[in-house]
């Protein structure tokens, strides 16, 4: 496979962009080698600057739920661009988006649009602190909620990939208000609440973490969090930036039947354009400015291009879509596990509808400690073997894979053929 143009571009990029990339995981530091520079995508497939084609399991890290170039979204963006790209003033599209979110996500009665997942989680935490009058928050090891100060403590995603557990530049005074617990360990959470419960404003988590790889919650974990937070007068925040509208129309909270106080959203809701949102019960959301005193604002918030794209995306996601996505995810992960078994290479797979991970370890992967114990070197070889066979996986052992409606059975079978050849190569 010729990757000369990509190699030339990363060298050129590094002269004017830190590390040559605008988000660290893209730099391939987690797998070695040069990042691939892409030019276009259609359905489940991507094309790079050297003319190579790949099956895409990144999907822009989640939002491409119908694959690339999804016509209704492209047409909506084009039509809206002709009307206006933005006003910095209210539009009917924002109202329709809020109604679409409230209709789908069980616990949300009111929602505020922002521009990224980072903004959404940062704002939700400010609201939780403002509403409770408490400063401490509790997050989980390996969960990633964007790059705001309070949340860059034992985080997943890029900081985990690069081995930066606590980022320089985050004041100690802020980090000290962030408590951490092991994901899926309700006893640890209870112990922390026994000591600090009356000073904890909120517990924030990815109900299905995708930023240390895909690690679903153990039975009873989310229920336990709901109970502990309610007893202590703390808020429970589900970060559904990845799982929202993906694992079910109403996200993880619908899948597991748990109602958080606040929810953060992103990715799918913008159809691929930059967007985020946070929402929850009306009496909490009403404490946000202008009705309430907790301040939050944004010139580009509710941008009409993003709203038009997101609305078309949401309209396309009917019940058969979710059934098919779930079936195809199962076909893929079962196929990967079987392909590995043929070579006796120990792997463990995790999945929820539309999201998956393949871990190079023999045991189940349910905690950050389990993730950390996986064979990262083997993952790197697997990643490059798949890449050379035209399958683009997330360039880190600590990120999830994403499927779309465009990943049909033939795409999955092609992926599995590449996986069989790659597993065989790992034995050599």
List active site positions.
144, 239, 267
For ligand HOZ, the closer of residues 67 and 280 by Cβ is 67
- How far apart (Å, rounded) are the C-alpha atoms in residues 241 and 275? 10
CB closer to ligand HOZ out of 116 and 229: 116
Give every CB contact of residue 312 below 8 A, 6+ residues apart in sequence. Answer: 70, 72, 73, 75, 76, 271
**Contact range with ligand HOZ by CB under 6 A, out of 20-28, 31-39, 256-264, 401-409:** 20-28
Question: Using CB under 6 A, which of 66, 157, 296, 404 touches ligand HOZ?
Answer: 157
Nearest to 190, CA basis, from 223, 215, 212 = 223
Residue 5 burial by CB count (10 A; 0-12/13-18/19+): exposed, middle or buried?
A: middle
CA dist 239 and 244 (Å) reads: 8
Q: Is 158 in the site for ligand HOZ (CB under 6 A)?
A: yes
Residue number with CB closer to ligand HOZ (349 or 396): 396
Residue 33 CB, shortest distance to ligand HOZ, in Å, is: 16
Identify the bridge partners of residue 262 per DSSP, sorted by sequence position: 237, 280
Residues 6+ apart with CB under 8 A from 404: 43, 44, 59, 64, 65, 66, 67, 325, 354
Q: How far is the CB of 145 from ligand HOZ (least distance, A)?
A: 10
- Strands 53-56 and 391-392, sheet pairing: parallel
Walk across the sheet containing 348-352 and list its strands. Answer: 348-352, 355-359, 401-402
Q: Is residue 264 part of the contact set for ligand HOZ (CB under 6 A)?
A: no
Closest residue to ligand HOZ, judged by C-beta, is 23
| Contact status, residue 277 vs residue 120, Cβ threshold 8 Å | yes
Find the binder of ligand HOZ among 3, 9, 25, 273 (CB under 6 A): 25
User: With respect to ligand HOZ, which residue has the nearer C-beta, 156 or 353?
Assistant: 156
Task: Return the range that interacts with ligand HOZ (CB under 6 A); candidates 18-26, 198-206, 334-342, 373-381.
Answer: 18-26
Q: Which of 3, 6, 26, 404 binds ligand HOZ (CB under 6 A)?
A: 26
Instruction: Pick from 37, 54, 57, 61 the residue near ligand HOZ by CB under 6 A.
Output: 61
Region for residue 33 given its phi and psi (left: phi exceeds 0; alpha: psi -120 to 50; beta: otherwise):
left
Minimum distance of ligand HOZ from residue 144's CB (angstroms): 6
Question: Hunting for tokens 């589900």 — which residue is that?
Answer: 238
Of the residues 6, 66, 115, 211, which one makes contact with ligand HOZ according to CB under 6 A: 211
**Beta strands 110-114 and 276-280, pairing class:** antiparallel
Nearer residue to ligand HOZ within complex by CB, 142 or 280 = 142
Pattern 105-124, ligand HOZ, x by CB under 6 A: --------------------
Decide: 38 and 49 in contact? Cβ < 8 Å: yes
Find the shortest distance in angstroms from Cβ 153 to ligand HOZ: 16
Q: In the complex, what is the shortest distance from the CB of residue 21 to ligand HOZ, in angstroms, rounded to a whole number? A: 7
Number of H helices, E strands in the chain: 15, 14
The answer to whether residue 23 forms part of the interface with ligand HOZ (CB under 6 A) is yes
In whole angstroms, give the CA distance from residue 273 to residue 73.
Answer: 10
| CA 82 to chain CA centroid, nearest Å | 31
* Residue 201 sits in the site that holds ligand HOZ (CB under 6 A): no
What minimum distance in Å lies between the beta carbon of 26 and ligand HOZ?
Answer: 5
Beta carbon nearer to ligand HOZ, 183 or 423:
183
CB of 162 to ligand HOZ, least distance (A): 11
Which residues in the 389-418 window bind ligand HOZ by CB under 6 A?
Answer: 399
366 interacts with ligand HOZ by CB under 6 A:
no
Closer residue to ligand HOZ in complex, CB, 13/188? 13
Cis peptide bond upstream of 77, omega within 30: no
Q: ∠ at Cα 41 (40, 42), nearest 5°? A: 135
CB of 340 to ligand HOZ, least distance (A): 24
Q: What is the DSSP secondary structure assignment for residue 322, as one 8-state letter?
A: H
Give whichever of 229 and 357 is closer to ligand HOZ, judged by the CB atom: 357
Q: What single DSSP character describes residue 373?
A: T
- Residues at the site binding ligand HOZ, with contacts judged by CB under 6 A: 23, 25-26, 61, 144, 157-158, 211, 399
């Amino acid at each position: 496979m010729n990757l000369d143009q990509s190699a030339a571009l990363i060298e050129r990029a590094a002269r004017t962009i830190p590390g040559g990339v605008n988000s660290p995981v893209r730099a391939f530091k987690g797998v070695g080698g040069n990042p691939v520079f892409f030019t276009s995508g259609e359905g489940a497939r991507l094309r790079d600057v050297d003319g190579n084609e790949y099956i895409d399991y990144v999907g822009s890290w989640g939002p491409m739920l119908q694959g690339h170039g999804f016509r209704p979204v492209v047409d909506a963006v084009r039509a809206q661009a002709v009307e206006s790209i933005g006003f910095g003033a209210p539009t009917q599209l924002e109202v329709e988006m809020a109604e679409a979110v409230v209709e789908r996500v069980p616990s949300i009665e009111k929602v505020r649009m922002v521009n990224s997942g980072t903004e959404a989680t940062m704002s939700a935490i400010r609201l939780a602190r403002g509403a409770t009058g408490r400063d401490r928050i509790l997050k989980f090891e390996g969960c990633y909620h964007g790059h705001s100060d309070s949340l860059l403590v034992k985080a997943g995603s890029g900081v985990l990939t690069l081995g930066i557990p606590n980022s320089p530049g985050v004041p100690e005074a802020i980090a000290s208000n962030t408590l951490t617990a092991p994901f899926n360990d309700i006893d640890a959470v209870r112990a922390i609440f026994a000591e600090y419960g009356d000073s904890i404003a909120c517990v924030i988590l990815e109900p299905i973490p995708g930023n240390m790889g895909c690690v679903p919650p153990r039975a009873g974990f989310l229920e336990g969090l709901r109970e502990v937070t309610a007893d202590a007068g703390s808020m429970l925040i589900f970060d559904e930036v990845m799982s929202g509208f993906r694992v079910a129309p109403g996200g993880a909270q619908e899948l597991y039947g748990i109602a958080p106080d606040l929810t953060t959203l992103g990715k799918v809701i913008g159809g691929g354009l930059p967007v985020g949102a946070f929402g929850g019960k009306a009496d909490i959301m009403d404490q946000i400015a202008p009705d309430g005193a907790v301040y939050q604002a944004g010139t580009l918030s509710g941008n009409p291009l993003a709203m038009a794209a997101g609305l078309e995306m949401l309209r396309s996601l009917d019940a058969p879509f979710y059934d098919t996505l779930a079936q195809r995810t199962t076909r893929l992960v079962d196929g990967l596990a079987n392909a590995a078994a043929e070579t006796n290479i120990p792997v463990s797979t995790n999945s929820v509808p539309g999201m998956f991970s393949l871990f190079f370890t023999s045991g189940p992967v349910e905690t950050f400690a389990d993730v950390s114990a996986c064979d990262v070197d083997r993952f790197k070889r697997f990643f490059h073997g798949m890449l050379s066979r035209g399958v683009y996986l997330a360039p880190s052992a600590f990120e999830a894979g994403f499927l779309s409606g465009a990943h049909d059975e033939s795409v999955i079978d092609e992926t599995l053929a590449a996986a069989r050849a790659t597993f065989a190569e790992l034995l050599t």
